[in-house]
């Protein structure tokens, strides 16, 4: 007997995400990664299904789902492309923060564009000298009348240079975790600049860059919540759910490839673990029509 099962509504949500992934993400993921394509149109198509405001309340225009439903969506999309799934997850985190803690004026200013992903949001915590340890961050916001003056930089930010909105963790008070606040900063505010795109091993469907703030004047009205209230959002569940799909798909592709190659299991190749004795020559990268591989294979050639 299982202690947990999905409801009918949750299964419907999961199936919707799977169908979208199969149609709009999986067939294109390899090309996106190879050519460093940012699939903005596909991301906006996901928003048409409500995936731009998964956690945002229905009263604010979102679909008001919980973390379990969001995990199901992220897991399904990551099966096609974990990079794109993570990117959409980050945008949802930013939209949720504005909806949950922002003033009515801040919600009205940003959510109408964030929900359809007409504008896309980044979450800016990581710094070169602090990593993702909020207690150690150095980016400062000093209050000056009806503005904050923000100085510092954020490292390895998903959407850096491409996204229009940045939710930035800044230090407005004492050292340590209690002095951290969150400001909404627009890409086109004077003093905002971006570093070169990061060199990554994979995850090329999402732009990633340093974000710099040189005395950027940000309206006090763009404070999310109150001073000292910001802390890293508990989004590890969605990240973990998306990560599950990577080994699951790898295992599925390996099983399909093995079946396609019809590798015989004999006493000889079972006893000898040598790759060349277990995999027929027709299944090395010089593929034959009778043994078609997956779209990509990283199987090494036999040693000479």
**Among 38-42, 56-60, 122-126, 245-249, which is the least confidently predicted range?**
245-249
- Each residue's pLDDT tens digit, 265-285: 554 444 444 444 444 444 444
Those residues with Cβ within 8 angstroms of residue 63's Cβ, 6 or more apart along the chain or in another chain: 50, 53, 54, 56
Q: Is residue 81 part of a domain?
A: yes
CATH number of the domain residue 58 falls in: 1.10.540.10
DSSP string spanning 222-252?
GEESSTT-------HHHHHHHHHHHHHHHHH
The span from the CA of 60 to the CA of 282, in Å, is 57
Q: Is residue 274 part of a domain?
A: no
- Each residue's pLDDT tens digit, 82-109: 999 999 999 999 999 999 999 999 999 9
What is the domain extent for residue 178?
120-233
186, 215, 233: which is the final residue of a domain? Answer: 233
Based on the fold, state whether residues 191 and 54 are members of the same structural domain.
no
Looking at the 3D structure of the chain, how many domains does it have? 2
Based on the fold, state whether residues 229 and 250 are members of the same structural domain.
no
CA 3 and chain centroid, separation: 30
Contact in structure between 214 and 191 (CB atoms under 8 Å): yes
Average pLDDT along the chain: 84
Based on the fold, state whether residues 245 and 131 are members of the same structural domain.
no
Q: Residue 70: which H helix or E strand, with range?
A: helix 67-80
Torsion (CA) 35, 41, 42, 45 in degrees, nearest 10? 180
- Each residue's pLDDT tens digit, 31-74: 999 999 999 999 999 999 999 999 999 999 999 999 999 999 99
- pTM of this structure: 0.80
Query: How crowded is residue 196: how many other Cβ atoms within 10 Å of its Cβ?
Result: 9
Based on the fold, state whether residues 128 and 199 are members of the same structural domain.
yes
Based on the fold, state whether residues 115 and 238 are members of the same structural domain.
yes
Based on the fold, state whether residues 94 and 34 are members of the same structural domain.
yes
Based on the fold, state whether residues 165 and 25 are members of the same structural domain.
no
pLDDT over 90 (residue 158): yes
Based on the fold, state whether residues 46 and 176 are members of the same structural domain.
no
Based on the fold, state whether residues 67 and 207 are members of the same structural domain.
no
């Amino acid at each position: 007997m299982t202690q947990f099962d999905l409801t009918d509504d949750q299964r419907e949500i999961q199936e919707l995400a799977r169908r979208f992934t199969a149609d709009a993400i999986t067939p294109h993921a390899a090309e996106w990664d190879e050519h460093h394509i940012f699939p903005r149109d596909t991301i906006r198509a996901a928003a048409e299904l409500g995936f731009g405001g998964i956690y945002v309340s229905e009263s604010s225009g979102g679909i008001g789902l919980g973390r379990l439903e969001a995990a199901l969506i992220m897991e399904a999309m990551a099966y096609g492309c974990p990079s794109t799934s993570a990117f959409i997850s980050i945008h949802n985190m930013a939209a949720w923060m504005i909806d949950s803690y922002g003033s009515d004026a801040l919600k009205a200013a940003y959510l109408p564009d964030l929900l359809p992903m007409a504008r896309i949001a980044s979450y800016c915590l990581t710094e070169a000298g602090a990593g993702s340890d909020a207690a150690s961050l150095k980016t400062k916001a000093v209050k000056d009348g009806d503005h904050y003056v923000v100085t510092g930089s954020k490292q390895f930010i998903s959407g850096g240079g491409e996204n229009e909105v940045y939710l930035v963790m800044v230090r407005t008070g004492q050292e340590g975790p209690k002095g951290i606040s969150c400001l909404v900063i627009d890409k086109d505010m004077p003093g905002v600049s971006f570093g070169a795109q990061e060199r990554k091993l994979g995850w090329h469907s999402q732009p990633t860059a340093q974000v710099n703030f040189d005395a950027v004047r940000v309206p006090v009205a763009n404070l999310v919540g109150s001073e000292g209230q910001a802390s890293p959002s508990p989004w590890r569940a969605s990240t973990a759910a998306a990560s599950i799909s990577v080994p699951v798909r790898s295992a599925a592709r390996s099983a399909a490839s093995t079946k396609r190659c019809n590798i015989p299991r004999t006493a000889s190749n079972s006893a000898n673990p040598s790759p060349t004795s277990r995999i027929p020559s027709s299944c090395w990268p010089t593929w034959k029509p009778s043994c078609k591989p997956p779209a990509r294979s990283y199987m090494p050639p036999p040693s000479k």
